[in-house]
Structure 1
Amino acid sequence: MLALGVDVGGTFTDLLLADLGSERVTIHKTPSTPSNPALGVVEGITGICALAGVKPAEIEMLFHGTTVGTNAMLTHSGAVTGMITNAGFRDILHIGRHQRPQHYSIIQDLPWQSRPMIRRRHRLTVNGRLDASGQELEPLDEVAVAEAARKLGEAGVEAVLVGFLFSYVNPAHERRAAEIVRGVLPDVFVTTSSEVAPQFREFERFTTAAMSAFIGPKVRRYIAELEDRMRGLGITAELHVMTSSGGLATPTMIAEKPAATLLSGLVAGVRAGAWIGRHSGTDRLITLDIGGTSADIGIIQDGRLAEADARSASIAGFPVMLPMIDIHTIGAGGGSIAHIDAGGAFRVGPQSAGADPGPAAYGRGGTCPTVTDANVVLGRLVPERFLGGRMALDRAASEAVIATLAAELGRGPEETAEGALTVLNSNMANAIRSRTVQKGIDPRDFTLAGFGGAGPLHAAEVAGMLGIRSVLIPRHPGITSATGLLTADLEYHVLRTAFAVKGAIDVDRLNGLFDDMEAELANLFEGDGVQPARRKLLREGDLRYVGQGYELKIDLPAGLLDEAALEGVWQAFHDRHRAEYGHAFTDSPIEIVTVKARGIGEVEKLDRPPRPPERAAPRPVGRGRCVFRVNDVLGEYDIPHYEREELGVDQPLEGPAIVLQIDTTTVVPPGWSFVQDAAGNLMLTLIDAA
């Protein structure tokens, strides 16, 4: 069975074609087409099929990671969106909460005010009101809803959000209003807050639903066009799209909930890290995915991907109430520009030279000193072997821009280049500390997985700053996200608000909520053709001490809940609270705020990495000068260059060394050893830790 994973990035579209019945794998990279990403995907599919010697029509499964929704949020280029809400609550999306991202700043940027997804003139109100229990206090003014829809249509909106108070308890008013809007505006994307995020906290619920409306038309058009072009290639396989929770969804589900794709491509990379780590004997990893502009960090504990909580989940500064893998992104990559800021401090990023003109080394007219240029000056990138020799780097151009910066600093070129890398690596190490040390996690207990085009260049030195003694570099670091797409299952989430306090819980009601949710998931899987034997249902709950403002997610047991089962839940919450905050209030009442059901539908996927071919003891394909700082002394080393494809299995070598391959370069600093394992991963280890 041929399965294809396609991950669309800002610069390249990465593809991995696997024959799931054998170990045959083909990889391919093609330039992305930002103006119409579907074109780049089609070109990539055509190219990889030619490389593999197969026809597109032979592809039986197609998995996709997309940044269409993410980019629409980051560039604020979504649809003209309107909103219909309760009378008197027009400005919830603007006011937000009394809490602010930076508590003590009087000049901070609040994106929901400085760049709203829905302009105030497009937020209209109607009469109709429910109370907190979902009982109707005032009937919905259906005439006013129709009139509001007409006004929004005349204003040229492309999407409409219907968001009412307490719809998470009773969605009747929202559903009826949406039905009316669709009747008046049949060509407009319409969604409701109860469809997208049926949870309490109206600001976050409305904002999340506004996101879905804002990106909805663009995502829906993209998926529809991609499906059409797939059919044009003769591909009849159903498209499956990676969601922010790390699972796959069908185009129908994505059309209904486009916000589920907000972290699509990034999550695929973290998922691949977990899969790769499992086959290399480790289930505790920190993933570091470094591209040209940004570095994305994920945490994997005991094989599970860390999930974002309600306090920190956000996209482009907007809060998100959707299941999301916890990924932290900073402006650090190969194109990050080294500069002296207005205060005289030496900084690297977040400004980036991008792909065009890119670093000076690209020879496209770039004049800013970047991380790539620093790596060239230090000998860590081999100009003649960049991208497998398909692209030669301009060493003289890199030396010139680094020399200019060095003159401003009053330092030597090599010291300046090494300083730029140290600053960048420190930024990434600090970002990892914020996701580990500040959450009570010791990074020294983890393996650092470095991938992306620049991850293997920096992973070992970042690990050294964190006290991490082992680094994993996947076999194909540049297409790791495409690999992750082929390791996922279908995954759907449903939830209900419970508000049940320990000691006064209606157990029958709680069991009824789970019965309803699991029936809903069963219907979804029936529609997708997933047989009962390939389904798995998991239960979770958001719990808090009564009076707390935020919740912690706790696994709940399967089967009929009773008092004995709930005792284990209370203890699990105390333990989790102690781990998260350093203390627990064991005598305080606990409240179950939300109950959740997660449905997993197993699909055919990549079982294990192909074993690398047996090789003789590897010989260097070249040597070169490389600069490293060891024991605070900057020194030159004459180091060997190895070709990744020529490395055998379990043949340890010592650094310093450089390992070359088409999609990246791996730097092994002094004091580290490296070996390729049976799963094809390059494992770097501190020599004194062996």
Structure 2
Amino acid sequence: MKLIGVDVGGTFTDLVYVDTQVAESTIHKVATTPHDPSEGVLNGVVELCKRAEVDPGSIDHVLHGTTIATNAILEHDGVEAGMITNEGYRDIIQIGRHQRPQHYSIMQEVPWQDRPLVKRRYRKTVAGRVAPPSGEIMEALDEEGVRRAARELKERGINSIAICFLFSYLNPEQELRARELVLEEHPDCFVTTSSSVSPQFREFERFTTTAMNAFIGPKVRTYVARLESDLAAHGLSADLHIMCSNGGVATADMVAARPVLTLLSGPAAGVLGGGWAGALSDRDHVITFDVGGTSADIGIVRGGVFEEATARDTAIAGFPLLVPMIDIHTIGAGGGSIAYLDAGGAFCVGPRSAGARPGPAAYGHGGDQPTVTDANVVLGRLDGENFLGGEMALDAEASVRVVSALAAELGMTPEATADGVMKIVNANMANLIRSRTVQKGLDPRSFSLVAFGGGGPLQAVDVAAELGIPEVIIPPAPGITSAMGLTTTDLKYDAVRTAFVSTRRMDLPALHQSFASMESEIGRQFAADGLSPDEYRFERSADLRYVGQGYELRVTVPGGAMDEAALASMFAEFADKHLTEYGHVHAEDPIEIVNVRVTGIGTMPKLHAPVLKPRQSLDDALIRHKDCVFRVNGSLETLSTPLYLRDALPVDQDFQGPAIIIQKDTTSIVRPQDRMTADSKGNLIIKLGVEG
């Protein structure tokens, strides 16, 4: 099989071509085209095929990580959407819950009130009601009212409508009928129902998720359709699959109908790529560390399994969501993060960023503020002659100038100031990792840190040292790890049902029926995708809590019949997770099964481990020596440091730092107190604090 993975970033679009039969791959980068990202994707795919000397018509799958949906939410740049809901519930998405983002601030922004996804004048109400607990129809749907609402919204120019009724997760009949009526009145409308997007309880989150789908739907649908058309026009008949937030890919048709599934498309691919790199070197307990120009993303992989976000943690731009997502957290810390003194005289780094233009002063595009990149230049850790494989020269004098100006304000030397920039940004990144490990009962010292992105390998050893993490892993191509992650995943579809059964009133046959119906539903989707039953499998899970608790914990559910043994397994895992999360368990208290879930995984062809060319000695990899500044035993020292070409490093030969490892898409740092090995799988393994 021949695959192309394409990940669109803010500055560059990264691509990788993979032939799974001969274990060959080719990487490429092109400039992102913000006005129309599909243009950059198409340019990159065509150029990559030429570079790899492959016929575009022979490509089997194009796997794409996109920021279209994410940017539409972050920039609040979706369409003007409408909503049809029950009488009396017009303002659910405006009121929200009693919890506010910041409990005690009188100046806070509440996203769903300050910038609602659906303006109040476009929210229409109709009579009709589904009643719990069984989902019976308590009041018939006012079909003429639905038609009238659809006509009114059409007259106002609304071409995307969310249909959100109470308790539709128990019985979607009224939502489905309302959708039919809307399309009869407004055939060109993008119509989305809450029961199709997120059929589970919590009406505020369900309604908001559906409104978000309506807000971004037309833009994503247009983008996907245009990309498919343009690829076909250039001779690519390959299947287009889009990366979803759950760590799997979905078909273009699925994403066009439910674009809300792609809100963490790019970062999710990065976590997959980081997990793949760790697995190459037999590490299944890793923290993925993706540092770009403006932000740093981290994800957690335990036992080879990606951590998923819980209902209370799943949000985008402050809006709560009810869709499966890999647990990814981000801060504004990257190579372009600006160092400055705030109004109180405190030394700060980020979250303000110089961006791509003008960017750091070292880029020579007019940047006049000191950044993390400039600090690395001042410390000698970036080499102006070998940046981006020599395709871009760095202006070291400009970096010294802007860092020296900040140093004058602080009364410090430029080198000490640059080191201070490093300490602050690394501490911010370490605190992000602590929030997802230490504060969750996980010991970061039991993990390896997989560092990638343009800036990850530059910062990784210092961040790992601050957390006590014993080793850093640098993947084969750190700058395109997200694109490579796209070629390591499978088709992945999720289904969910709200159960609300407890140990006080357990209904095993009903639970079994829920699992069976979800597996049948996903199986039909796989069949439509052309997969046979032996090409996919199912994984079951459930959301559990003690009766009376407000939030749940996710546990695995054994396959087969639901019986007492399956329940015992679920409850034992729940107790373990509750102890880890909260520090205690209540062994005698009743447990409630809130939601039951099925994940369908359809096997896709995958990227193999890289095949390394024969290499000679360490001396053959040496470019030259240069002066670099490192902190040694608490003091700054300038050391003559060897610069090595990564592709020429001998395999499985470890050596002592300091060292700077040069490759086209990033620079890796080895401190004087660390040892490094280029292993046979293509990774760099840096052991911290190990002196030979």
Query: TM-score, normalized by length of structure 1?
Result: 0.99
1:238 aligns with 2:239: yes
Shift of 1:347: 0.6
1:129-176 CA-partner distances (Å, limit 9, x unpaired): 121231222211111111111111122223110001101101111111
* 1:445 matched residue in structure 2: 446
1:352-397 CA-partner distances (Å, limit 9, x unpaired): 1100111111111111111111111110101111101000011111
CA distance in 1, matches of 2:510, 2:543: 17
1:531 aligns with 2:527: no
Contact 2:241 2:250 in 1 (8 A): yes
1:510-540 CA-partner distances (Å, limit 9, x unpaired): 1111111111011011001111111111100
Alignment of 1:52-451 (within 5 A): 52-133=52-133, 134-451=135-452
- Structure 2 SS opposite 1:5: strand
* 1:670 matched residue in structure 2: 672
1:95-124 CA-partner distances (Å, limit 9, x unpaired): 100112222323221111111111111111
Contact 1:612 1:649 in 2 (8 A): no
Q: 1:573 to 1:250 in 2, by over 3 A?
A: same
- Structure 2 SS opposite 1:299: strand
Alignment of 1:444-463 (within 5 A): 444-463=445-464
- Structure 1 SS opposite 2:690: helix
Contact 1:383 1:395 in 2 (8 A): yes
Paired letter, 1:411 = M
CA distance in 1, matches of 2:400, 2:148: 65
CA distance in 1, matches of 2:294, 2:387: 18
* 1:624 matched residue in structure 2: 626
CA distance in 1, matches of 2:110, 2:363: 37
1:639-687 CA-partner distances (Å, limit 9, x unpaired): 0000011112101121111000000001111201111111110100024
CA distance in 2, matches of 1:610, 1:152: 58
1:330-370 CA-partner distances (Å, limit 9, x unpaired): 00001001011112111111011100111111111111111
Shift of 1:565: 2.2
Contact 1:643 1:661 in 2 (8 A): yes
1:617-638 CA-partner distances (Å, limit 9, x unpaired): 3442011111112222111111
CA distance in 2, matches of 1:184, 1:383: 62
Alignment of 1:507-546 (within 5 A): 507-546=508-547
Query: TM-score, normalized by length of structure 2?
Result: 0.98
- Structure 2 SS opposite 1:479: helix
Paired letter, 1:650 = D
1:470-493 CA-partner distances (Å, limit 9, x unpaired): 000011000001110111010100
Paired letter, 2:216 = I
1:655 aligns with 2:652: no
Q: CA RMSD in A?
A: 1.1
CA distance in 2, matches of 1:435, 1:627: 31
Paired letter, 1:111 = P
Q: Which moved more, 1:632-641 or 1:609-618?
A: 609-618
CA distance in 2, matches of 1:630, 1:16: 39
- Structure 2 SS opposite 1:384: coil
Shift of 1:439: 0.2
Contact 1:388 1:663 in 2 (8 A): yes
Paired letter, 1:44 = G
CA distance in 2, matches of 1:607, 1:489: 14
- Structure 1 SS opposite 2:124: strand
Contact 2:64 2:242 in 1 (8 A): yes
Paired letter, 1:609 = P
CA distance in 1, matches of 2:159, 2:627: 58
Shift of 1:541: 0.4
Contact 2:220 2:259 in 1 (8 A): yes
Contact 1:212 1:257 in 2 (8 A): yes
CA distance in 1, matches of 2:605, 2:89: 47
CA distance in 1, matches of 2:157, 2:163: 17
- Structure 2 SS opposite 1:383: coil
Contact 2:675 2:691 in 1 (8 A): no
Shift of 1:584: 0.5
CA distance in 2, matches of 1:375, 1:687: 21
Shift of 1:270: 0.5
Shift of 1:615: 2.9
Alignment of 1:582-621 (within 5 A): 582-619=583-620, 620-621=622-623
Contact 2:378 2:415 in 1 (8 A): yes
Q: 1:670 to 1:566 in 2, by over 3 A?
A: same
- Structure 1 SS opposite 2:501: strand
Q: Which moved more, 1:613-622 or 1:68-77?
A: 613-622
Paired letter, 1:489 = D
Paired letter, 2:646 = R
Shift of 1:55: 2.0
Shift of 1:616: 3.0
Shift of 1:607: 3.1
CA distance in 2, matches of 1:357, 1:329: 23
Contact 1:193 1:206 in 2 (8 A): yes
Q: Which moved more, 1:426-435 or 1:123-132?
A: 123-132
1:40-68 CA-partner distances (Å, limit 9, x unpaired): 01110111111111221121121111111
Contact 2:277 2:450 in 1 (8 A): no
Q: What are the ranges of 5 or more consecutive residues in structure 1 without an aligned counterpart?
A: none
Contact 1:612 1:679 in 2 (8 A): no
- Structure 2 SS opposite 1:393: coil
- Structure 2 SS opposite 1:621: strand
* 1:494 matched residue in structure 2: 495
CA distance in 1, matches of 2:544, 2:612: 44
CA distance in 1, matches of 2:204, 2:691: 50
Contact 1:612 1:678 in 2 (8 A): no
Contact 1:612 1:680 in 2 (8 A): no
Q: For this pair of structures, how many residues does the alignment match?
A: 690
Contact 1:373 1:402 in 2 (8 A): yes
Contact 1:429 1:462 in 2 (8 A): yes
Contact 2:23 2:608 in 1 (8 A): no
CA distance in 2, matches of 1:266, 1:587: 41
Contact 1:540 1:595 in 2 (8 A): yes
CA distance in 2, matches of 1:657, 1:644: 11
* 2:14 matched residue in structure 1: 14
State the identity as a percent.
Answer: 55
Paired letter, 1:641 = L
Shift of 1:127: 1.2
- Structure 1 SS opposite 2:192: strand
- Structure 1 SS opposite 2:151: helix
Q: Which moved more, 1:616-625 or 1:76-85?
A: 616-625
Paired letter, 1:123 = R
Paired letter, 1:667 = I
CA distance in 2, matches of 1:562, 1:304: 26
CA distance in 1, matches of 2:691, 2:243: 38
* 1:476 matched residue in structure 2: 477
- Structure 1 SS opposite 2:271: helix
Shift of 1:689: 7.9
CA distance in 1, matches of 2:271, 2:26: 21
Paired letter, 2:118 = I
CA distance in 1, matches of 2:148, 2:373: 57
